[in-house]
Structure 1
Amino acid sequence: MGDARNSLPGKARDVVQAHEVGDVVFRSHDRRGVYALAALAVVLVAAIVVIVLQPTQAPPVAERGPLVAAVTGNTGQDSGWCTSGWIIPDRGDAPIPYSGGPPPGAVEGGGTVVAVTVQGLTGKAVVLQGMSVDVVRRSPAPTGVYLPPVCPAHIVPRKYGVALDNVVPRVVADVGTRGFPYRVSETEPEVFVIHAGVDSGDVQWRLVLAWTSGAEKGELVVDDNGRPFHTVALSSSRPFCVSKVETWQPAC
């Protein structure tokens, strides 16, 4: 075996020998690795700053969907108002079978009753600030035959009324009904029953419900499954009546 000192490069102070090795620090005179680590640290810090400074805000309502939804219930005499029947084209005096519902081609005559259930779609509370009417079209009342409903013995009081004859129809609370605003959520819906009456003309219309939720606001359009509600006056139609044999006919 030769001399160990002749086979080890470097100086004697660079050699470490022990039974246990603790912390070992590697040093190098080549600074390129140090510069690379420093550059990487700068990039990471910049990324963290960008993330921290990026404002956290909810996406627009159009991107995430509405906060409230409305479902229209039964209209006409099924709601208990019992003031509106149907108008059909005049086909003569032949009796018309009574089915409890509108015959083909009928439109509601004298008034329309709309039951609207409004509910929040998230855990966030939504405040309903008001309701208005959007008149889609006006025209003269059609000629035809008016078919009245068979009314139940008990009429449930309604909450809201709309006079469609007004140039700007307003949704007005009935006596004893608390007006807007109302608060709705996923677990706290509200049900509105609106009676829309007309004495002259043919009116197509929709309801517009204004809402707010925190700093957000919007409008919810309520219609008849994508179509405007359609209400016509009785002024240009002749009335039929409901006979005991469950038919509509000119005289009973």
Structure 2
Amino acid sequence: MAGQPRETAEFAAVLRELKERSGHSYGFLAKRLHMSTSTLHRYCHGVAAPADYAPVERLARLCGATTEESARLYRCWQAADAARSTPAAPDADAPHAGPVPAADPAPSDAALPADASPDAAPDAVPPGAEARPARRPRRRAAWLAVFVALAVVVASALVALIRSADSGAADAGAPGAASGPTGTPDDSARAPGDRPGGAPESGTPTTDATRPAPTEPGGTASPHRSGGAASPSRPDGGGPQEGGGPTPLTVTTRSHVWAGRCDHRYLVDPGVTPPADVPAPPVEQDAAAWAAGVAAVHGGRTNVEVTVQGVGDATVVLRDLHVRVVDRRAPLPWSVYAMSPGCGGSLTPARFTVDLDADRPLAEPADGYDADGPGRTLPATRFPVTVSAADPQVLRVEASASRCDCDWYLELEWSAGGREGVLRVDAAGRPFRTSGVAGRPVYFHEEGRSWARAD
């Protein structure tokens, strides 16, 4: 569409192709996606691109997109999302839109005497009448319009000046009032359905309004504010503001964390990548790139490490951790690839365990175990806890699934200095994904050889 970036047009073309192939109407799809028909129509015709990938992913599933199509759609959405914040360059080939010369005004009948014929000569004057120059009503109307416009501008400026003076007097008469960036009290900025602490009601996903560019598939390194409005940026570029000041937290997330740094399982679609084409298992630090290369999904368990650190001199209280399940489907009928035939380890860190199969999954604190350390037991982390710039906190979440292919994310409640908020923890703006593996074929890698199916 004219005026839109090329990346947005390409993203819209992929959406339209999936929509038309599915045979579903805009109304049907919009109802399933919980959005308006006009919004979906705007996405499919390049008028706008969604700020979050979650509705795009659900649309792809409704339209029966393959793994390659889903990957292509995600790349197009990333490009369109990046182009949204990049100012469009002027088109050198476009014709220069210069000022259009005004046409000479046509002669007006009003310039003739009332009893004169339009066909009479211009200098024909009735006997005894004094010759007068012809009037120009169009020029007079133009000057009148200019005077009216100037009067409106002056009046608007006076009203704005008076309101500004009144606002300053009101602020001077109310010292100590807590206000946000635009002078609005922090409490009034909450959506009507928000719970205290900024967390939405149960079952309502937090809008990812400040999602950064991903640093790895399955990880993100920036906080998110609850609610649908984007937060203003900090002057030092350190993240969005929360209420009346900068968000006092930074968050770094890793979702490709293996047990004992060697044991993990992934599901890979054999129809797309057969066992002969699956690369050898990587080391843990290369797992994100390996999984992205074969469009793998966490099998049975997803381990997430969330590093939370304060900003500046503030001490922040982490009050609670919540689990939000966005969608549940039947487990994927794919093949399971074990990164190790079993390694075992003497250290099991303190963690939070999550059962994604439960109707209302909870993050339950669990003790760790160190066979070589004193006392052996590593006490579980229990909320509330405090963090600061000098005292960060690493939260480990182990989410398991056996009866579902689940999309989910975390919400971290915090408070500091009389302010409070919620950080959304997800996979670079997308939910984490974990699928059960029961009854699926399992492959192990023989050192120096290839993948072999377990008996």
Is the TM value for this pair above 0.5?
yes
Tell me: CA distance 1:162–1:155, structure 2 relative to 1, closer, same or farther (3 Å). farther
- Identify which of 306, 318, 325 aligns with 1:135: 325
Aligned to 2:401: 198
Matches within 5 A, 1:86-125: 86-91=266-271, 92=274, 94=276, 96-100=278-282, 101=287, 102=291, 103-125=293-315
1:232 correspondence with 2:435: yes
Contact 1:94 1:249 in 2 (8 A): no
Aligned to 2:197: none
Please give the per-residue CA displacement for 1:129-163, whole angstroms capped at 9, x wherever unaligned: 11010111110001111001125452531322111
Aligned to 1:30: none
Q: Following the alignment from structure 2 to structure 1, what is the Cα–Cα distance between the partners of residues 344 and 436?
A: 25
Contact 2:328 2:407 in 1 (8 A): yes
Tell me: CA distance 1:153–1:246, structure 2 relative to 1, closer, same or farther (3 Å). farther
Contact 1:95 1:248 in 2 (8 A): no
Q: TM-score, normalised by structure 2?
A: 0.41
SS, match of residue 332 in structure 2: coil
Aligned to 1:215: 418
Aligned to 1:64: 245
Aligned to 2:347: 156
Aligned to 1:184: 387
Aligned to 1:36: none
Contact 1:126 1:211 in 2 (8 A): yes
* Percentage identity across paired residues of the two chains: 25
Larger Rg: 1
Which amino acid counterpart does residue 80 of structure 1 have in structure 2?
Answer: G
Aligned to 1:31: none
In the TM superposition, residue 121 of structure 1 has moved relative to its aligned partner by 2.1
Contact 1:81 1:113 in 2 (8 A): no
- Consecutive unaligned residues of structure 1, counting only runs of 5 or more, are 1-47
Contact 2:179 2:244 in 1 (8 A): no
Which amino acid counterpart does residue 330 of structure 2 have in structure 1?
Answer: P
Contact 1:122 1:186 in 2 (8 A): yes
Q: Following the alignment from structure 2 to structure 1, what is the Cα–Cα distance between the partners of residues 402 and 169?
A: 67
- Identify which of 84, 104, 108 aligns with 2:264: 84
1:167 correspondence with 2:349: no
Contact 1:85 1:149 in 2 (8 A): yes
Which amino acid counterpart does residue 111 of structure 1 have in structure 2?
Answer: R
Flag the structure with higher helix content.
2
Which amino acid counterpart does residue 190 of structure 1 have in structure 2?
Answer: Q
Contact 1:146 1:238 in 2 (8 A): yes
Which amino acid counterpart does residue 279 of structure 2 have in structure 1?
Answer: P
Aligned to 2:373: none
Please give the per-residue CA displacement for 1:156-202, whole angstroms capped at 9, x wherever unaligned: 31322111111111111112213111101122210011111111110
Aligned length: 206
SS, match of residue 123 in structure 1: coil
Aligned to 2:175: 55
Tell me: CA distance 1:247–1:58, structure 2 relative to 1, closer, same or farther (3 Å). farther
Please give the per-residue CA displacement for 1:91-129, whole angstroms capped at 9, x wherever unaligned: 455363314132511111010000000112232221111
Flag the structure with higher strand content.
1
Which amino acid counterpart does residue 437 of structure 2 have in structure 1?
Answer: L
In the TM superposition, residue 218 of structure 1 has moved relative to its aligned partner by 1.3
SS, match of residue 97 in structure 1: coil
Contact 1:95 1:247 in 2 (8 A): no
Tell me: CA distance 1:247–1:96, structure 2 relative to 1, closer, same or farther (3 Å). farther
In the TM superposition, residue 250 of structure 1 has moved relative to its aligned partner by 1.6
Tell me: CA distance 1:140–1:50, structure 2 relative to 1, closer, same or farther (3 Å). closer
Q: Following the alignment from structure 1 to structure 2, what is the Cα–Cα distance between the partners of residues 183 and 93?
A: 47
Q: Following the alignment from structure 1 to structure 2, what is the Cα–Cα distance between the partners of residues 246 and 219?
A: 48
- Consecutive unaligned residues of structure 2, counting only runs of 5 or more, are 1-167, 181-185, 187-241, 368-378
Higher relative contact order (CA 8 A, sep 6+): 1
Q: Following the alignment from structure 2 to structure 1, what is the Cα–Cα distance between the partners of residues 433 and 304?
A: 11
